């Protein structure tokens, strides 16, 4: 039985997005998986797995075969899972990363929260800590979480909602972010190769660039699976003064490249410091 399955009391009751996340994680970790294998790992019927594989293949997230599925050997630089799937992928790592990010915050700071399932966990952890901050976000889901904490002064700059997501992009949000001098910006990342952070669309890369430029400190929150890949649009090059928060599975090569460039790297909730 997989560790992912053991963490869930009743996988047969998982919503489709959670099943899809488990299937993607399993296939990508092994390169190939049979339908019967996936049914056993996730604890659902063969017919359910067949249906889920068809959905994932239609989204371009894996390749369907007669008896199962194989991972895509070449990353498709403009494809990404739907937000409902992304939030269930590597959930434990994202929670730990989010807690490590929230631990950096002090009362009175201004904090930019980028639209990201990992940054969402930082927002949840921030609310749990009860720190009094001014928060700026372009994510409607993150805004709803932060709005639950009366000690958070919340600003949502606006923009156009990205289809199928909770992300606001474009104007007036981009200009607003560029005009900030926030204490810290928490950025998510679709891909990190060496010191290059990249995203799947021009519009998302643009708002992330504006957020990074409007903060005195930038912290990239990304689980280890995001490293060693490249997406369609460059966001920024990491260097001295930047911080990366990931999980303990971050590869030695990825960590070494970051640290050689002067980037501070945190790979566990216990390492974060001010």
| C-alpha distances in Å from residue 135, one per residue of 7, 113, 147, 150, 254 | 32, 7, 10, 12, 30
In tens, the pLDDT along 54-98 reads: 888 887 778 898 888 888 754 444 455 566 566 556 688 999 999
**pLDDT averaged over every residue in the chain:** 87
- Residue 47 CB burial class (10 angstroms; 0-12, 13-18, ≥19): exposed
Least confidently predicted of 35-49, 106-120, 214-228, 235-249: 35-49
Name which residue leads in pLDDT, 39 or 104: 104
In the chain, how many domains are there?
2
Q: Do 125 and 250 belong to one domain?
A: yes
pLDDT of 87: 55
Using an 8 Å Cβ cutoff, are 223 and 93 in contact? Answer: yes
Q: Do 152 and 248 belong to one domain?
A: yes
Mean pLDDT for 18-40 is 84
pLDDT of 208: 97
pLDDT greater than 50 at residue 2: no
pLDDT greater than 80 at residue 20: yes
Q: Do 104 and 200 belong to one domain?
A: yes
Mean pLDDT for 6-34 is 71
pLDDT of 269: 53
pLDDT of 88: 53
In tens, the pLDDT along 99-146 reads: 999 999 999 999 999 999 999 999 999 999 999 999 999 999 999 999
Residue that terminates a domain, selected from 74, 98, 115: 74
Q: Do 43 and 109 belong to one domain?
A: no
> How far is residue 75's CA from residue 260's CA, in Å, rounded to a whole number?
26
Whether 82 maps to a domain, the answer reads no
pLDDT of 174: 96
Contacts of 66 (CB under 8 A, 6+ apart): none
Q: Give the pairing of strands 160-161 and 243-245.
A: unpaired
Least confidently predicted of 19-23, 39-43, 89-93: 89-93
Per-position DSSP letters for 142-175, written without gaps between them: HHHHHTT-TTEEEE----EEPTTSSBEESTTHHH
pLDDT greater than 80 at residue 233: yes
Q: What is the CATH number of the domain that holds 42?
A: 1.10.10.10
Domain span including residue 11: 3-74
Using an 8 Å Cβ cutoff, are 87 and 60 in contact? Answer: no
pLDDT of 83: 60
Q: Do 174 and 227 belong to one domain?
A: yes
pLDDT greater than 50 at residue 7: no
* The 152-155 sheet, strands edge to edge: 152-155, 133-137, 110-113, 184-187, 218-221, 243-245, 264-266
Whether 80 maps to a domain, the answer reads no
Q: Do 111 and 153 belong to one domain?
A: yes
Q: Give the pairing of strands 68-70 and 63-64.
A: antiparallel
Q: Do 184 and 101 belong to one domain?
A: yes
Whether 134 maps to a domain, the answer reads yes
Contacts of 96 (CB under 8 A, 6+ apart): 247, 268, 269
Name which residue leads in pLDDT, 217 or 225: 217
pLDDT greater than 90 at residue 42: no
- pTM equals 0.73
| C-alpha distances in Å from residue 7, one per residue of 22, 186, 263 | 12, 28, 33
Least confidently predicted of 75-84, 160-169, 206-215: 75-84
Q: Do 120 and 150 belong to one domain?
A: yes
Burial 168-180 (b: 16+ CB within 10 A, else e): bbbeebbebbeeb
Tokens of 77: 């630089």
pLDDT of 41: 85
Q: Do 195 and 129 belong to one domain?
A: yes
Q: Do 22 and 147 belong to one domain?
A: no
pLDDT greater than 90 at residue 15: no
Whether 272 maps to a domain, the answer reads no
Residue that terminates a domain, selected from 49, 74, 99: 74
Least confidently predicted of 6-20, 132-146, 249-263: 6-20
Residue that terminates a domain, selected from 74, 107, 136: 74
């Amino acid at each position: 039985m997989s560790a992912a399955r053991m963490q869930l009391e009743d996988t047969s009751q998982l919503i489709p997005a959670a099943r899809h996340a488990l299937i993607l994680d399993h296939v990508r970790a092994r390169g190939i998986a049979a339908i019967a294998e996936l049914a056993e790992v996730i604890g659902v019927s063969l017919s359910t797995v067949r249906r889920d594989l068809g959905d994932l293949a239609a989204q371009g997230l894996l390749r369907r075969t007669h008896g199962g599925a194989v991972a895509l050997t070449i990353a498709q630089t403009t494809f990404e899972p739907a937000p409902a799937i992304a939030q269930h992928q590597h959930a434990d790592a994202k929670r730990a990363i989010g807690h490590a990010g929230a631990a950096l915050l002090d009362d009175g700071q201004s904090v930019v929260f980028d639209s990201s399932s990992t940054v969402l966990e930082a927002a949840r952890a921030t609310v749990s800590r009860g720190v009094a901050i001014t928060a700026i976000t372009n994510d409607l889901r993150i805004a709803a979480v932060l709005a639950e904490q009366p000690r958070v002064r919340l600003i949502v700059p606006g923009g156009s909602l990205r289809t199928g997501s909770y992300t606001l992009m474009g104007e007036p949000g981009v200009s607003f972010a560029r005009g900030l001098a926030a204490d810290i910006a928490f950025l998510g990342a679709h891909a990190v190769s060496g010191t290059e952070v990249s995203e799947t669309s021009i519009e998302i890369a643009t708002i992330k660039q504006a957020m990074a430029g409007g903060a005195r400190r930038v912290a990239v929150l990304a689980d280890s699976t995001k490293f060693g890949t490249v997406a369609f649009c460059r966001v920024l090059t990491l260097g001295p003064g930047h911080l990366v928060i990931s999980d303990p599975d971050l590869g030695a090569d990825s960590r070494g490249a970051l640290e050689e460039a002067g980037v501070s790297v945190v790979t566990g909730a216990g390492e974060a410091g001010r």
